[in-house]
Amino acid sequence: MNIFEHFDWEPGRAICYSGFRDGQRPGGEYPSYEQVKEDLLLLQGHWKYLRLYDVDEHAQTVIQVIKNEGFDFKLMLGAYVEAERNNFGCPWKGGIYPEEVLAANQASNDRKIQLLIHWARRYPDVINCLSVGNEACVDWTDHYVPEDRIIEFVRRVKAEVNQPVTFCENYVPWLNHLKPLAKEVDFISIHTYPVWEYKHIHEAIAYTRENYETVRAIHPDVPIVITEAGWATNSNGLGIKQEQVNEENQRHYFQDLMEWSEKEGLLVYYFEAFDENWKGSDDPDEPEKHWGLFHTDRLPKQCAQDLRLSELQ
């Protein structure tokens, strides 16, 4: 099902954007107006759709820059909901919290959902769709939120806004316990990362297509958007084989992904625009830090160099 035709959206490429630079992080120092403007100047003309992860100071700045500078972007705005229940199966340190923290998170999540509604109603010319959470229902998450609570969020938002509403999650839960949620959202959002599942670069696009087709076979009547798909450029060997991640492989996967998605009329949010050094462990080779098409200093990697060169031709 062609998402652009379904919602009468203009066809275009999409990318996940989080502008936190060295020394910045959510809840700490946020990117300035000028820094966000610099980022969007790098992205404009190559991407039409941006995905933002939370209703925070960073998202507010992005919206203001787009409106003030007249940039041609449409935003998927998310509310990053935190753990409301312990996940004892989380494979890394995390997922288990005191009851008072879980209770505080629940209240905070309610406020975030209300703010998501408020911003969607205030900025309908910029925000074209909404997500009520990110990777909060998969079995390995460290911020687990029960499925019935996500359904509650979806219903609450849909009752108050005109934009389509979704929930962003790894492809696997949509095959089983998120089937009831699939009946509530306006479109299904899936994440697919072949490199995290030990796939060779030459298997990557076929594996991504398989992930997409498997979800579509179960939910043939619901539009599907890939809200995260990408390839890291560095790894410390934990979770991702070091020999599989480099700029050349990232470039190869990006090109295959764009060719396939554009041929099929799919919307794919590439993950991600810029490296983020605040993520993951203190290890500088932590793969979570190295998914951007640009380094943290905004110098382009191979794939982004190709884009900038094509702009000059």
pLDDT digits (tens, 9 = 90+) for 100-114: 999 999 999 999 999
Q: How far is CA 103 from CA 7, 107, 147, in A?
A: 37, 7, 17
Q: What is the 3-state secondary structure (H, E, C) of 53-84?
A: CCCCHHHHHHHHHHHHHCCCCEEEEECCCCCC
Q: What is the pLDDT of residue 1?
A: 73
What distance in Å separates the CA atoms of residue 171 and residue 193, rounded to the nearest whole number? 10
Confidence band, pLDDT 50/70/90 cuts, at residue 311? low
Confidence band, pLDDT 50/70/90 cuts, at residue 309? low
What distance in Å separates the CA atoms of residue 186 and residue 168, rounded to the nearest whole number? 12
Domain tally for the chain?
Answer: 1
Which structure tokens are listed for 5?
A: 């035709």
pLDDT digits (tens, 9 = 90+) for 25-40: 999 999 999 999 999 9
Q: What is the pLDDT of residue 312?
A: 41
pLDDT at 310 exceeding the cut of 60: no
Q: What is the pTM of this model?
A: 0.97
Instruction: Could you list the beta-strand ranges (E) of 93-164.
Output: 127-134
Of 205, 262, 201, nearest in space to 232 by CA = 201
What distance in Å separates the CA atoms of residue 244 and residue 234, rounded to the nearest whole number? 9
Domain extent, residue 29, equals: 3-312
Q: What is the pLDDT of residue 81?
A: 98
CATH number of the CATH domain containing 284: 3.20.20.80
Q: What is the pLDDT of residue 2?
A: 87
* Mean local confidence (pLDDT), 213-221: 98
